[in-house]
Structure 1
C-alpha cells in the first residue's frame, strides 16, 4: 500500500487543495500530522477522510517521525502541505521505486503567475542549475522504498531535510520521474523570496558543519556563464540571482554565527 505522510503546521488554507488532487479516484494510506496548529488544519484533513495525528509541538522533524510511526506501507511519500500533487503522479513515483530505485521525485512546475519580476528572474536561473535539475530537494515531495526509508531515517535531524535526503542517495539510486509533476507555489514578493533564501543559506550552513554530510554541489560562476551563453537574454536574470544570493548570505550570517538552525522563516505568500 502506498503511504503518504504530510507534516502540516497551520496549513488549513492549502491542505484541502493538496488532498483534493491526491485522493482523486485513489485510496492511498494518507497520514496528516498536524503539528502545533492553531488553525483548522486537522479538521480540514479529517473532512477529506484521511488519518490525522496531532501533536502540540510545532516541529516538522517531530511530525515526520510521528507520520512514519503511523504510516502502514511502502512505497512512502513525504509531501509538503503547500504543494499540489495528483494521484496519478503519486502512483508514477511508486512505480519508479518498483523498478529498483531507492528514492524518486517528480518534475517541478513552478507557479509564477502574479509574481514580481524579481521573483520570476530568480527562478528563471534557479531551475536551470545542474544540481537543482538533478536533485530531489526543492520539490516538496520525496518518495522512498522501504530500504530508502531506512537510509533517510538514519540521517541527523536538520533544517534542510529534503536536501539531506537528496544527498543520502547516489545518482544511480534516485530518479526524477518525467511522468510525475508537482506544482510548487513560489514566493509572490521579493521579501518572501528572501525569507526562503535566508532559510536555505542557513540550512546549508548547518549541513556544511557536518563533516560527513556536507551540502553537496554549489552554484559556481561556470554554471551561471553556461546558462547565459546558451540563453543571452537571461543575463539580467543572472544578475538578480547573484544579488539575491549575496544578500541572503549577509542576512543569514547572524543566525549562522549563533548556530540558530531552528528558526523557520516561513513564506506565507505561497499559502493562498
Structure 2
C-alpha cells in the first residue's frame, strides 16, 4: 500500500484539490493518506478529514519537520510519498512513481515527478525568474523543488528523522546518489509559483536560509552552483538574457533577505494559499 504524508499548515484553501487528485487517481482503499495539520488556525483539518480514507493528525504547534516525523511514524506502507499540500499530481502519477520504485532488478531508492511551474497570471518578474530556474540542470536529478518525493522502504532506511531545518526536500536529496534517484517522466507535479514578486523574494529567502542551515549541520548536502544560470542556461540561449537580469536581481535580493530570516519559519509561499 502506498502511504502519502502531507504536512499541512493553514492549507484549507488548497489541500482539497491535492487530496481529491490523489483519491480520484488511486481510490481511498488503495492509499494510506496521513495529513498532519500543524499549528493551523483555519479549517485544514476539517477539509482533509472530509475526504474518504484520509487520516488527520492535529498538532498544536506549527513546524514542518516535526509534522513530517509524526506523519512518518503514523504511515503504514511503502512506497512512502511526501507531498506538499498545495501540489496537484497528474492522473496516474502516484502509481507510476510507486511502480518505478518496485520494478526491475535494481530499482531506484527515490523518485520524483517532473515539475510544471504554474505561472499564469503572475507578474513579469516571476515569469522571468522561472524562465531561468526551470532550465537549470541541477533539477535533472534533484528531489527538491517539485513538492513530491517518493521513496522505497530501502530508501527510508537511509534516515531516522527529518532534521529541524526548513529544507526537508534538500535533506532527502542528500541521502541518495544520482544513480539512486530517478525522475518519472510520465508523472507531473503542478507547483504554484508565487503570485507576486515580493512573495517570490520571501519564499526564496526562507528556502535559502534553510538550505544554508542544513549544509552547516549535515555532510553530503548538494552544493549550489552559482554560475549555472549563465553557463548552462543563458550562454546556450542568449535570448534569455533579459530574464537572466531579473533572475540575478531576485537571487541577490533573496540572499540578502535570508540573513534576516527566522530559523523556525516555514519555507513556503502563502500567496498561493
TM-score by length of 2: 0.92
Q: Deviations over 1:135-164 (max 9, x none)?
A: 010111110111211214355332101011
Q: Could you list the runs of 5+ residues in structure 2 that have no partner in the other structure?
A: none
| Residue number among 67, 73, 77 corresponding to 1:73 in the alignment | 77
Shifted more, 53-62 versus 202-211: the winner is: 202-211
1:131 partnered with 2:138:
yes
Secondary structure of 1:17's partner? helix
Equivalent residue for 1:220? 226
Shift of 1:86: 3.7
1:12 partnered with 2:15:
no
Equivalent residue for 1:236? 242
The 1:134/1:18 distance shift into structure 2, 3 A limit, reads same
Shift of 1:201: 1.6
Q: Could you list the runs of 5+ residues in structure 1 that have no partner in the other structure?
A: none
Shift of 1:266: 4.0
Q: Deviations over 1:222-253 (max 9, x none)?
A: 54133122211100111111111111111112
1:2 partnered with 2:2:
yes
Q: What RMSD, in angstroms, separates the aligned Cα atoms of the two structures?
A: 1.6
Shifted more, 55-64 versus 111-120: the winner is: 55-64
Confirm or deny: 8 A CA contact 1:23 1:87 kept in the other structure. no
| Residue number among 40, 59, 63 corresponding to 2:67 in the alignment | 63
Separation (CA, whole Å) in 2 of partners of 1:226 and 1:156: 32
Q: Deviations over 1:154-197 (max 9, x none)?
A: 55332101011112100111111001100000001100000111
Shift of 1:208: 2.5
Separation (CA, whole Å) in 2 of partners of 1:30 and 1:160: 22
Secondary structure of 1:230's partner? coil
Separation (CA, whole Å) in 2 of partners of 1:25 and 1:262: 35
Equivalent residue for 2:93? 89
Secondary structure of 1:204's partner? helix
Separation (CA, whole Å) in 1 of partners of 2:245 and 2:12: 37
| Residue number among 195, 211, 226 corresponding to 1:188 in the alignment | 195
Written as runs of structure 1 = structure 2, the 5 A alignment for 1:107-186 is: 107-154=114-161, 156-186=163-193
Shift of 1:88: 0.9
Number of aligned residue pairs: 266
Confirm or deny: 8 A CA contact 1:160 1:203 kept in the other structure. yes
Separation (CA, whole Å) in 1 of partners of 2:223 and 2:267: 23
Separation (CA, whole Å) in 2 of partners of 1:153 and 1:74: 15
Separation (CA, whole Å) in 1 of partners of 2:47 and 2:78: 25
